[in-house]
């Protein structure tokens, strides 16, 4: 699980940039970097958690590689709780590679994927759920999803789960006392206490489990497909939601022939908006492929926005799309309302057998706000800002919480059947074990490897 060697990796994205940050962690960090870094002070003279200016040079050729800033951090007050050095060099690919090659030449090993965070966990700096929150924070696409990740990183989920696990362990201790000292005749009293406590713990776990659908959407976002026949304004809608000209817009039907994707923030919800080819019968081979992709995107979507043009009304192609989205979460957007009067719009509404119908003139930026409000309402009932609430955002966590609840249910069933206290301890232990797997208090090597190799 853990090797006491020194590792290094590029902490900034690989490529050309202003600055590249190379991080070195382990017992050899100071010694290795001291052989490559020249400054007015020696490595021993440089105070911990300070930045020093100097140059990286090749000790074999004495060639200067780059002017850098070097940050020295002594353990245990570091992310990995090991000695850590950060070298802030210029962000050119050649420069970064040359510095990295020198570090590896000195006996440092390239870090595996997620290894810095893994060492932080193994050294007790963070628990497992906090480690998983780091990648969630890095990948967050909206303010709300980042807030949920920060909440986990600060330990709010861990603290709640550790408290519940502690309650289960305390119940096991009470049962052990009752079993070990039967002469005190306290089994009935202890049984009532354990039963009531288990029901309370189960309710708290259920409350946590109920937050998963909401937390999962914040973490992973939703897939929204814009569908409809050609030239109804699908690409214009994508551009409005994205706030930029992402898709080509013309009056020529069939302009969009392939899937176009864009990540946007809709009222705090991370959403992948997918603009599809106009759905219609066609002899064009390329356009036909685009239509097939459109139907595949509809099948996989969390929400379909079906766009109908107000000036043409509902035609045969629209009816085919409506049939294709039946049974999926959808809404119909009547676009180009600037080209139709009220009676025409009411007539279109009467022809539609769907629950949600909105109106818009996308080209005039009318109705977009209402569309975003409706999307938020569909997935979060219009309220997404309850960040004081501890949310489950991770499918692994949800699965283990469900298993912990099932174990408690089995323990409660045993009580209801009149079984002695010592017969239910295995279910209580299992529940505590499942909760411990979330925070890392009980976890096997295989699971740990899978988590940190993502």
Tell me the pLDDT tens digit for each residue of 224-259: 988 888 888 888 888 888 874 444 344 444 444 456
Look at residue 291 and tell me whether its pLDDT is greater than 70.
Answer: no
- The DSSP result for 95-110, as a single string, is HHHHHHHHHHHTTPEE
Provide the pLDDT confidence category of residue 188 given band limits of 50, 70 and 90.
low
> Pairing state of beta strands 303-309 and 222-227?
parallel
> What is the C-alpha to C-alpha distance for residues 234 and 54, in angstroms, rounded to an integer?
55
pLDDT at residue 163 in the model: 95
- Cβ atoms of 137 and 149 closer than 8 Å: yes
Range of lowest pLDDT (36-40, 280-284, 398-402, 440-444): 280-284
Q: Which position has the token pair 């109705």? A: 367
Tally the C-alpha atoms within 13 A of residue 89's C-alpha that lie toward its C-beta.
28
Specify the pLDDT at position 353.
Answer: 86
Predicted local confidence at residue 246, as pLDDT: 45
Q: Which residue has the higher pLDDT, 290 or 349?
A: 349
CATH superfamily of 222-380: P-loop containing nucleotide triphosphate hydrolases (3.40.50.300)
- pLDDT at position 450: 74
Determine the topology of domain 131-211+392-452 in CATH.
1.20.120
Residues 400, 434 contacting (CB under 8 angstroms):
yes
Three-class HEC string of 258-323:
CCEEEEEEECCEEEEEEECCCCCCCCCHHHHHHHHHHHHHHHHCCEEEEEEECCCCCCHHHHHHHH
**3-state SS, residue 230:** coil
Q: Which among 345, 341, 362 is positioned nearest to 226, based on CA atoms? A: 362
Instruction: Give residue 401's pLDDT band: very low, low, confident or very high (50, 70, 90).
Output: very high
Instruction: Note the pTM of the prediction, 2 decimals.
Output: 0.75
> What pLDDT, in 10s, does the model give residues 147-184?
888 988 889 999 999 999 999 998 888 787 776 655 55
Average pLDDT over residues 286-291: 59
pLDDT of residue 253: 43
How far apart (Å, rounded) are the C-alpha atoms in residues 439 and 454? 17
- The residue extents of the domains of the chain are 7-125, 131-211+392-452, 222-380
pLDDT in tens, 375-399: 888 887 645 555 557 889 899 999 9
- Quick check: 29 and 51 in contact, CB under 8 A? no
Architecture of the domain whose range is 7-125: 2-Layer Sandwich (3.30)
Q: What would the mean pLDDT of 418-435 be, rounded to a whole number?
A: 89
Q: Which two tokens stand for residue 264?
A: 């946007």
Query: With 0-12 CB in 10 A as exposed, 13-18 as middle and 19+ as buried, what is 49?
Result: exposed
Give the percent of the chain with pLDDT over 90. Answer: 51
- Whether 196 shows a pLDDT value over 60: the answer reads yes
Of 120 and 143, the structure prediction assigns the larger pLDDT to 120
* Residues 83, 28: Cα–Cα separation, whole Å: 8
pLDDT score at 454: 60
Query: For position 259, what pLDDT does the model report?
Result: 61
261-285: average pLDDT? 73
Contact 331, 374 (CB under 8 A): yes
């Amino acid at each position: 699980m853990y090797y006491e060697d020194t590792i290094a990796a590029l902490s900034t994205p690989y490529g050309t940039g202003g600055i590249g940050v190379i991080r070195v962690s382990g017992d050899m960090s100071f010694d290795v970097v001291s052989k490559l870094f020249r400054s007015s002070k020696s490595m021993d003279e440089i105070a911990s958690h300070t930045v020093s200016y100097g140059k990286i040079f090749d000790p074999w050729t004495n060639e200067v590689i780059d002017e850098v800033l070097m940050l020295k951090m002594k353990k245990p007050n570091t992310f990995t709780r090991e000695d850590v050095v950060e070298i802030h060099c210029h962000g050119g690919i050649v420069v970064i590679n040359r510095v990295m090659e020198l570090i590896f030449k000195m006996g440092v090993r390239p870090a595996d994927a997620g290894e810095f965070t893994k060492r932080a966990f193994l050294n007790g700096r963070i628990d497992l759920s906090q480690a998983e929150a780091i990648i969630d924070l890095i990948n967050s696409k909206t303010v709300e999803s980042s807030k949920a990740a920060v909440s986990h990183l600060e330990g709010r989920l861990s603290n709640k789960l550790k408290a519940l696990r502690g309650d289960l362990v305390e119940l096991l201790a009470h049962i052990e006392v009752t079993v070990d000292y039967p002469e005190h005749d306290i089994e009935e009293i202890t049984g009532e206490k354990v039963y009531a406590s288990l029901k309370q713990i189960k309710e708290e776990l259920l409350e946590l489990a109920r937050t998963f659908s909401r937390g999962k959407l914040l973490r992973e976002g939703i897939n929204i497909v814009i569908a409809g026949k050609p030239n109804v304004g699908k690409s214009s809608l994508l551009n409005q939601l994205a706030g930029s000209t992402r898709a080509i817009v013309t009056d020529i039907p069939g302009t969009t022939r392939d899937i176009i994707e864009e990540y946007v923030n809709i009222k705090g919800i991370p959403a992948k908006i997918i603009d599809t080819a106009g759905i219609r019968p066609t002899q064009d081979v390329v356009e036909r492929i685009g239509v097939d992709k459109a139907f595949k995107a509809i099948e996989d979507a969390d929400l379909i926005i079906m766009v109908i043009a107000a000036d043409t009304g509902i035609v045969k192609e629209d009816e085919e799309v409506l049939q294709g989205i039946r049974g999926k979460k959808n809404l119909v957007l009547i676009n180009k309302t600037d080209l139709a009067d009220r009676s025409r719009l009411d007539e279109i509404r009467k022809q539609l057998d769907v629950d949600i119908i909105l109106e818009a003139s996308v080209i005039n930026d009318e109705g977009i706000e209402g569309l975003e409000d409706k999307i938020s309402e569909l997935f979060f009932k219009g309220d997404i800002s309850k960040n004081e609430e501890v949310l489950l955002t991770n499918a692994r966590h949800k699965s283990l919480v469900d298993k912990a609840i099932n174990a408690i249910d089995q323990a409660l069933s045993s009580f209801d059947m009149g079984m002695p206290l010592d017969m239910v301890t295995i279910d209580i232990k299992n529940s505590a074990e499942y909760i411990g797997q979330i925070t890392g208090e009980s976890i096997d090597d295989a699971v740990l490897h899978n988590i940190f190799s993502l």
